[in-house]
A and B are shown apart, each in its own frame.
Chain A
Amino acid sequence: MELTADRLTKQYKNKIAVDRMSFTLTEGVTGLLGSNGAGKTTLMRLLCGILVPTSGTVTCDGMDVSSEEYRDILGYLPQEFGYYPEFTGRDFLLYMAAVKGLPRSDALRKTEELIELVGLGPAARKKVRTYSGGMKQRLGIAQALLGDPQVLIMDEPTAGLDPQERIRFRELIAGLGKNRIVLLSTHIVSDLEHIADRLMIMKEGRLIWQGEWHAGEGDLESFYISKIQSQVEI
């Protein structure tokens, strides 16, 4: 499976948020690094079909990202998300399962599995408004995993997680990346150091570096800073 962006551009009135980006994502974990305002969120929204590009295309094995077929294999965690006030954690997942088209029996089974996976078992029947930031984030991660997505796009997934939860999340993502496309955006370099097979670095809407990254090749943070400072355009 391949997710391909070809000369992808998104321009707002007076700003180019994503500037002629071309790349192909394959199975494995890809980390998207960039400072705040680099265009990571816009790129992720384009890859999810939420935003329409000004020019260029995004396809997944020939499927257009605006198609229902593509959304059927997509799991997405936005940077910011909310919840309906009457929802418990379990209700939230069952609702998202319904919007993702899962039959009721599958939704019930998958919801229970994911609640356990993200460690929300004791709080599953409590209102989401009583959850801490980390618990809400784990709930968001769980909804992204509903329906066994083949393409998993997560925008700042580790935001709000405590150190123990971050480690657990990294292990989970490393496992998921074995047989699906996983794209994670972050500005925290250490989140990617041990799990990303591949890295993309963005600055001011442009892709300034992409390539494979192997744990043990050195200090990723120093590498990232050197790339940001040198701004070598591909």
Chain B
Amino acid sequence: MNNEMVKRQIRELCQAPGPERKEEFFRQLKAQGLLHRRPRTISQGEFVVGQIPYIEKRIWVLSVLLLLFITEVCRLRPGNYPFAMTPFLAAGILVQTGRSFRWKMAEMEYAARFSLRSVMLARLFIVGAFNTLGLMIVILLVRPCFSYSLLRVFLYMMVPYLTAAWLGSVYERKQRADHGWGSVLICLLSSAVFAAAPVFLAWLYEERWTVLWAAAMILMVGGLSGSVRNWISRMEEPAWS
């Protein structure tokens, strides 16, 4: 008996049985999350925190300097002009949101697990939360410098800031590849309008118009939310189509 014959006979005698209940086995593995098991990935919270170092340093510097400047101007000259400076705070947020498109990173980010939507929302949240929190602290600090109530100082600070953020978000949605100058210009114009407004509308900062300011704030928050939602939900088509 030669070697080949022995091999063939062993193969015939020791033939492995065909797979039984294979489908059920794979179903069970899948149900237990063991099929195509992937390495551990970070949570949404860890992702947002992990994005903080990737916000440009100049954005933090600009925000801090602006907040300090607004505080100082309020303390030294507590007129209505300091309120017109808050739109510049929105510039930092707006410049961050278009960054992926400007630097051609959007396509790679879109195909990653957290996707471009999460990247943009994380940046909006981080810079927006920092600025808003900073502004709240400034409002509390400068409130004694004004004869207005805390609510009125809050509204006078927030409405120009949100107006610029809303108009800028509409612009950024349409002009993604622009290097952010359009947004800066919108912030500048918003600031100029709010600075000039008391000259033409002397009644604007009167107490009886507080309701108007509150309505404007609600409108701006609604407009900004709608614009961001629209931006995020229809992200891919205008970018690559």
List residues of A whose CB falls within 8 A of some B CB. 1, 12, 45, 48-52, 61, 68, 71-74, 76, 78, 80-86, 95-96, 98-104, 106, 143, 147-148, 150
Selected interface stretch from B60-68, B102-110, B150-158, B202-210: B102-110
Quick one: CB contact mask for B79-113 with A, threshold 8 Å, 1 for yes?
00000000000000000000100011101111111
* CB–CB A101/B113 < 8 A: yes
* CB–CB B241/A51 < 8 A: yes
Give me 15 A-to-B residue pairs in the complex whose CB atoms sit less than 8 angstroms apart, sorted by A's number.
A12-B241, A45-B240, A49-B111, A51-B236, A73-B38, A76-B107, A82-B104, A84-B54, A98-B51, A99-B119, A100-B41, A102-B41, A102-B42, A103-B41, A143-B108
Distance between Cα atoms of A194 and B137 in the complex (Å)? 65
Extra 19 A-B pairs, beta carbons < 8 Å, given A68-B114, A71-B112, A103-B41: A12-B241, A50-B107, A51-B236, A51-B240, A61-B36, A72-B38, A78-B111, A81-B107, A83-B104, A83-B105, A84-B103, A86-B56, A95-B54, A96-B108, A100-B113, A101-B112, A103-B40, A103-B46, A106-B40
Contact of B115 with A by CB under 8 A: yes
Q: Given the complex, which residues of B lie within 8 Å of A73, measured CB to CB?
A: 36, 38
Q: Given the complex, which residues of B lie within 8 Å of A86, measured CB to CB?
A: 56
Distance between Cα atoms of A100 and B112 in the complex (Å)? 5
Q: Taking A73-B36, A101-B47 as contacts, is the C-beta distance between A52 and B236 under 8 angstroms?
A: yes
Distance between Cα atoms of A1 and B54 in the complex (Å)? 35
Residue of A nearest to B102 (CB): A82
Distance between Cα atoms of A214 and B73 in the complex (Å)? 75
* CB–CB A85/B103 < 8 A: yes
Residue of B nearest to A65 (CB): B111
Question: Considering only CB atoms and an 8 Å cut-off, how many residues of chain B contact the other chain?
Answer: 30
Residue of A nearest to B114 (CB): A99
**In the complex, what's the smallest C-beta–C-beta distance from A231 to chain B, in angstroms?**
27
Contact of B39 with A by CB under 8 A: yes
Contact of B237 with A by CB under 8 A: yes
* CB–CB B36/A84 < 8 A: no
Partner of A52, one of B114, B119, B237: B237
* CB–CB A103/B42 < 8 A: yes
Contact of B226 with A by CB under 8 A: no
* CB–CB B108/A81 < 8 A: yes
**In the complex, what's the smallest C-beta–C-beta distance from A24 to chain B, in angstroms?**
17
Q: Given the complex, which residues of B lie within 8 Å of A96, measured CB to CB?
A: 108, 112
* CB–CB B108/A148 < 8 A: no
Q: Given the complex, which residues of A lie within 8 Å of B236, measured CB to CB?
A: 50-52
Distance between Cα atoms of A143 and B241 in the complex (Å)? 24
Residue of A nearest to B119 (CB): A99
Q: Top 9 A-B pairs ranked by shortest CB distance?
A: A82-B104, A101-B41, A76-B111, A99-B112, A101-B113, A78-B107, A82-B103, A48-B111, A100-B112
User: Which among B50, B109, B111 has the highest number of chain A CB atoms within 10 Å?
Assistant: B111
**In the complex, what's the smallest C-beta–C-beta distance from B208 to chain A, in angstroms?**
49
**In the complex, what's the smallest C-beta–C-beta distance from B98 to chain A, in angstroms?**
13
Q: Given the complex, which residues of A lie within 8 Å of B110, measured CB to CB?
A: 48, 50
Distance between Cα atoms of A148 and B41 in the complex (Å)? 12
Distance between Cα atoms of A86 and B99 in the complex (Å)? 12
Distance between Cα atoms of A104 and B43 in the complex (Å)? 12
Distance between Cα atoms of A81 and B109 in the complex (Å)? 10
Partner of B113, one of A45, A72, A83, A106: A72
Distance between Cα atoms of A68 and B118 in the complex (Å)? 11
Residue of A nearest to B99 (CB): A84
Distance between Cα atoms of A148 and B105 in the complex (Å)? 20
Quick one: CB contact mask for B44-58 with A, threshold 8 Å, 1 for yes?
001100110010100
Distance between Cα atoms of A150 and B39 in the complex (Å)? 12
Q: Given the complex, which residues of A lie within 8 Å of B109, measured CB to CB?
A: 99
Q: Given the complex, which residues of A lie within 8 Å of B240, measured CB to CB?
A: 45, 50-51
Partner of A76, one of B46, B99, B108: B108
Partner of A98, one of B38, B47, B99, B104: B47
**In the complex, what's the smallest C-beta–C-beta distance from B197 to chain A, in angstroms?**
38
* CB–CB A68/B108 < 8 A: no
**In the complex, what's the smallest C-beta–C-beta distance from B104 to chain A, in angstroms?**
3
Residue of B nearest to A80 (CB): B104
**In the complex, what's the smallest C-beta–C-beta distance from A50 to chain B, in angstroms?**
5
Q: Given the complex, which residues of A lie within 8 Å of B113, measured CB to CB?
A: 68, 71-72, 99-101, 147
